[in-house]
Amino acid sequence: MNARICMFSQRNLSGLVSRCGAYEYEDVIRQTDDVDSLTPELYHYSQFYDYYKLGKQCSNWLARNAHIRRINPGVKKIKIVNDYELFIAFFQFPHDISSLNAIIDWRKRCRLAVCWIDETWVGELNRYKETYKLLREFDYILINCENSIKIMELITNRKCIYMAQGTDVLRFCPYPNPPTRSIDVYNMGRRLPMQHDELLTMSNNKEIFYMYDTIIRMETAKHREHRDLFSNILKRSKYFIVNMAKAYLQSETRGQIEIGLRYYEGAGAGTIMIGEAVPSEDYKKDFDWDDAVIPIPNGQGEINKLIKYLDKDPARLERIRKTSIVQSLLRHDWVYRWKDILKLLGMEERPQLLARENKLKELARIVERA
């Protein structure tokens, strides 16, 4: 069958692990629909120098200061020669958008066009205002930052729609053969020093096995292997520290509150999520079961006391795990986000999408009976 979807991916342009969730989403779409993928590469690559970063800086500077938006930041050109029902592009950051200039005839060849942008922080919208105007060729703009919608619509003159994050729950779900949870606490990425110090003390006292990152700006050449490793760590973790998106980076968020991807990952793997319950209506809708996230006393310290307290009630922990997994299987797999997009565009679902949905529902029944 001829592909009806043309997908533009950044996967050959950047290997940042923070992008791997979006690459995973692209994989699920490819598995559940008829897709041709555009995965261009860079004209110049060096392990010692980031030419793509320089190209994006130049293209965005010209957009801001000279209103010149059609600059290719150093991506090999691809010309679309077939016709498609839908063009979908994935961008993590606003400075990714200029890479669209490398795709020739994408708008001419595609009846509909939507883009998905991970990070659109209100504090940075004005800086990338001219770059965002490239998105005026899309029919819809899907964003994960709900509080940025109104301003984005003013800049782009396009309908902007909030769409929640998700995950490949089939990858993260520990059933039907759940492994032993041998990692007591997993604290990924940015962390609050007070919490980290308390957990380190518990680890040094041999009370827990505490796992955390020791390097920054991590990159991977194989996003699927990274997601497999990450999901296997979570499936073996009892507690998972979660915080709002861009936690502790007030210089970037300026107080803007949004849901981070790790909530969906932690729930899908059945971890006991400890941290911040995001004060937003979208969070209340997506994580509306009891103990979805257990808050830390005083908001920061005494995490050691909380863990010891929770360990005394294994029945409660088991209930939380099963509920989180079942809710994720029924609501937060990437396939449900794809269904929402197809419904928005009035496009029919493919049989492979229905097959995945049935597999998720059957796995949910297995968890409930376990």
Q: For residues 139 and 121, state if they share a domain.
A: yes
pTM (2 d.p.): 0.93
Residue whose pair of structure tokens reads 């504090």 in the numeric block:
123
Examine residue 176 and say whether the peptide bond preceding it is cis (omega within 30 degrees of 0).
yes
> From the CB of residue 122, how many other CB atoms can be counted at a distance below 10 Å?
16
Q: For residues 145 and 78, state if they share a domain.
A: yes
Q: For residues 155 and 202, state if they share a domain.
A: no
* Number of domain units in the chain: 2
Task: Tally the C-alpha atoms within 13 A of residue 8's C-alpha that lie toward its C-beta.
Answer: 32
Give the whole-angstrom CA distance, residue 96 versus residue 3: 25
Is 367 inside a domain boundary? Answer: no
* Range(s) of the domain holding residue 77: 5-162
Q: For residues 194 and 80, state if they share a domain.
A: no
pLDDT at 1: 67
Q: Which two tokens stand for residue 312?
A: 């005394």
Q: For residues 211 and 280, state if they share a domain.
A: yes
Q: Which two tokens stand for residue 264?
A: 């969906």
Q: Which of 72, 64, 66 is nearest to 130 (CA)?
A: 64
Q: Which of 357, 315, 311, 309 is nearest to 332 (CA)?
A: 357
Q: For residues 140 and 23, state if they share a domain.
A: yes
CA 254 → CA 32, 92, 360, distances in Å? 38, 19, 38
Q: For residues 127 and 214, state if they share a domain.
A: no
pLDDT at 29: 98
> From the CB of residue 189, how many other CB atoms can be counted at a distance below 10 Å?
15
> From the CB of residue 126, how many other CB atoms can be counted at a distance below 10 Å?
12
Element (H, E) at 187: strand 183-187
Q: Which of 171, 194, 224 is nearest to 301 (CA)?
A: 194
pLDDT at 121: 85
Q: Which two tokens stand for residue 148?
A: 């940025």
Local confidence pLDDT in tens for the 370 residues of the chain: 689 999 999 999 888 898 999 999 999 999 999 999 999 988 876 555 576 777 788 887 777 876 778 777 788 999 999 999 999 999 998 889 999 999 999 999 999 999 999 988 888 888 888 889 999 999 999 999 888 899 999 999 999 999 999 999 999 999 999 999 999 999 998 888 888 999 999 999 999 999 999 887 788 889 999 999 999 999 999 999 998 876 655 556 667 888 889 999 999 999 999 998 888 889 999 999 999 999 987 655 689 899 999 999 999 999 999 999 999 999 999 999 999 999 999 999 999 999 999 999 999 999 999 8
Residues with Cβ within 8 Å of 151's Cβ and at least 6 positions away in sequence, in order, are 122, 125
